[in-house]
Amino acid sequence: MSTPVVVVPPITPVRDVARHMDYSGIGCVVVSEGRGVTGVVTDRDLALRVVAQGEDGDTPVGRVMSEHPVVVGPEDEVEVAFDVFRRHAFRRLPVVDDAGVVGMLTIDDLLLQMHQLTADLITPVVKEISEPQRQSD
C-alpha cells in the first residue's frame, strides 16, 4: 500500500483537492470527518462530476465524492483486496484501522507485488537452467 494518504474534510473546495493531487502525484483523495472514511474522490470524479457538469472550483468535495467507499484493514489477507477489486469497478482501496486511514492500496500495487513474487519464483529456475550442470564422477 502507499503511504501517506491525503485526507481532506468534506468542506474542502475541489480546487484544493485537485491541487493536492497534482502536488502529491496521486489520483485519489480520502474524504473524512474524524477517524472514519466519509468518501473518496478521484481525478476521474473531478473530471466527470465537476468539470463536465460545469461546477465551480469552490464546490465542496463532499458534493462530488463517492460515498461509503469499500475499505480493507491492514491485517486483511491480500486475497480480500483481490476479491474486492474483482467485484467492483474501481482501482483504489483505502486501508483503514481503528485510528483512521493508514494507506491506499491500488491495483498497481498488487500487480507490482505479483510481478515481484513471480520473479522471485522464477529466478532459481532460470539460474538452474542457465548454469552448466556438472557431471558427477
Residue 63 has pLDDT above 80, yes or no: yes
What is the grid cell recorded at 34? 474524524
Residue 83 has pLDDT above 90, yes or no: yes
What is the grid cell recorded at 130? 542457465
User: pLDDT tens, 30-58?
Assistant: 999 887 899 999 999 999 999 999 999 99
Domain ranges of the chain: 7-130
- Buried b / exposed e along 93-126 (16+ C-beta atoms within 10 A): bbbbeeeebbbbbbeebbeeeeeeeeeeeeeeee
The fold of the 7-130 domain, in CATH, is CBS-domain (3.10.580)
What mean pLDDT do residues 72-82 have? 91
What mean pLDDT do residues 117-131 have? 79
Residue 120 has pLDDT above 60, yes or no: yes
User: pLDDT tens, 3-13?
Assistant: 889 999 999 99
- The pTM for the full model equals 0.78
